Amino acid sequence: MIGSGKNHNTGRIIIGILLLLFFFGFNYYYVVYKPESRTIPRDTKKDTSITFGWWGNDDRHLYTLTGIDLFEEKYPDIEVNCSYNVWNGYERRNRIYMLSEKAPDVMQINYNWIRQYSADGSGYYDLNKLSDYIDLDSYSEKDLSYGTSNGVLNAVPIAYNAVVFYYNQDILDQYGLRVPETWDDLFTAASVMNKDGRYPLHLSDKHLFLSVLAHYEQTSGQTLFDEDGTYTGGTGAAGELLKFYKELFDRQVICLDGKSTDTDFSSGTCAGVGIWASDAENYCGQLQEQDKDASPVLADPPRTADHDPLFGWYVKPATMYAISRNTRHPKESAELLNFLVNDRDMVLLQGTEKGIPVSAQARSILEKHDALNSRDAEAGNYVFRNLDHFETMVPSNENSDIIDAFCDEAAKYVYGVADLNTCSKELVDRWNATIHSLKTGS
């Protein structure tokens, strides 16, 4: 005998309770934690379903999802299925998307991806063909040039980005130091504060490479990568980059040895930080969370002298929006793209989290609502004011393989694994191989 009726009833009650717990637990997970990829279930079938992908932190995910809900209210016949991730996860996924021709209909892209995936202009949809749905008049000709490849408008810039420098004024005051203006100022600061285990600067690998590159251009008056990405220097130039990297390390301007972390600025381990302008609120906010009285100050990027032959620092679109060349719904995708960059509600949700908007319409909306007073706005306005000084970012300057090769060879040189000549030659060989592969697709 399997069981009595009473046991059956008890079992049904238990199963019912478990199902209820599962149902409410599942919904709690969706509401509170939100899975990495999100598809909104619908009660009624929409006429059109499109996909949208982006990267960012939790705050960006939250306001973007809120914006998508507003878009679907304004365009009730369109359903938007969203996928989002942090930068590294999104970048890896994007490579797969582009190679498999399965990219989202609307996507956030990095500036250098246009060169990487659309050198001939065919990698993304031509947005000029969708000008009836996208307000391109909100952009200047120069703005649109950043998203143009081979005469085809592949993307529109969301905001401009450049490396900016912030310093903790309180730490500088402790040592009687002024805000560094030159590389020599940084070496002086290092000599004063190293006794306490502090460093003048925190720099990620990319920002460190861009800093070393800036120093070379300032001292030599020559660039090392041309517009199509070709390396124009020789082993001697590569050697100069490696030597300056080693000098920054030896004189303890920067912390290496695997001890450096993204919290070095907020913890006070480093007096300054070089970051993308779009990350200003994040880094300065973390500092003021640790010390509400902290005084982060924005400074000019370091130079060698008052009149360097080249400025050495570059500007680029922080991020861009593009439409898949394979989209089956170009009109609806264009309507979503225009909403993301020009719609009042979306503009106010985003604020300056991605930087000062390039769209003149979006900037006007933020100005009317007194929404240009954040730390991101401060850094973004700095970039806008100095656009004429910055050079346009060359894709090779921030190519991950180019930077990885530099960091690998620099580590060998710094730690005595190989001499300068060997590292310089290997670096040039790796760079040339990477650039050849990018140009040929091999």
* Tokens, residue 53: 């992908």
pLDDT at 34: 41
The last residue of one of the domains, among 342, 364, 385, is 385
For the cut 80, the answer to whether the pLDDT of residue 27 exceeds it is no
Residue 190 inside a domain? The answer is yes
User: What residue has token string 């604020």?
Assistant: 351
Q: Are residues 308 and 411 in the same domain?
A: yes
The reply to whether 27 falls in a domain is no
pLDDT tens per residue across span 247-265: 999 999 998 765 668 899 9
Q: Are residues 216 and 178 in the same domain?
A: yes
If asked whether residues 279 and 372 sit together in one domain, one would say no
CATH number of the domain enclosing 72? 3.40.190.10
**167 and 266 share one domain:** yes
227 in a structural domain = yes
Q: How many CB atoms lie within 10 A of CB 415?
A: 12
Report which of residues 207 and 438 the model is more confident about: 207
Query: What are 416's two structure tokens?
Result: 């005595």
Whether residue 425 is found in the same domain as residue 321: no
413 and 273 together in one domain: yes
248-255: long-range pairs with CB below 8 Å, 24+: 248/208, 248/212, 249/414, 251/187, 251/190, 251/191, 252/190, 252/194, 252/199, 253/186, 253/187, 253/189, 253/190, 253/199, 253/200, 253/201, 254/199, 254/200, 254/201, 254/202, 254/203, 254/208, 255/199, 255/202
At 23, which helix (H) or strand (E)?
helix 5-28
Note the pTM of the prediction, 2 decimals. 0.77
Type of residue found at 141: E
219 in the same domain as 168: yes
User: Mind listing the pLDDT tens digit for each residue in 346-361?
Assistant: 999 999 888 899 999 9
97 neighbors 372 (Cβ within 8 angstroms): no
Tens digits of residue pLDDT in 165-176:
999 999 999 999
Selection from 91, 97, 96, 148 nearest residue 119 by Cα: 148
> Are 193 and 276 within one domain?
yes
26: in domain:
no
Q: For the residues 224-240, what does the mean pLDDT come to? A: 94
- Domain hosting 98: range is 37-160+316-385
174 and 310 assigned to the same domain: yes
Query: Are residues 396 and 376 part of one domain?
Result: no
pLDDT (tens digit per residue) in 136-177: 999 999 999 999 999 999 999 999 999 999 999 999 999 999
Q: Which of 13-17, 117-121, 414-418 has the highest mean pLDDT?
A: 414-418
Output the pLDDT for position 70.
Answer: 98
For residue 39, what pLDDT is reported? 42
State which H helix or E strand residue 392 sits in: strand 391-392
Pick the last residue of a domain from 347, 368, 385: 385
In this predicted structure, the answer to whether residue 35 has a pLDDT above a threshold of 70 is: no
The pLDDT tens digits of the residues spanning 310-329 come to 999 999 998 999 999 999 99
* Same domain as 101, residue 80: yes
Q: Within a 10 A sphere around the Cβ of 51, how many other Cβ atoms? A: 21
Residue 356 maps to a domain = yes
Query: Taking the CA of residue 215 as centre, how many other CA atoms within 13 Å lie in the half-sphere pointing to its CB?
Result: 21
Same domain, 290 and 336: no
pLDDT 10s digits, 269-285: 999 999 999 889 899 99
Last residue of a domain, one of 385, 401, 432: 385
How many structural domains does the chain have?
2
Question: Is 144 inside a domain boundary?
Answer: yes
H-type helices in 291-399, by residue range?
330-342, 344-350, 360-368, 375-385
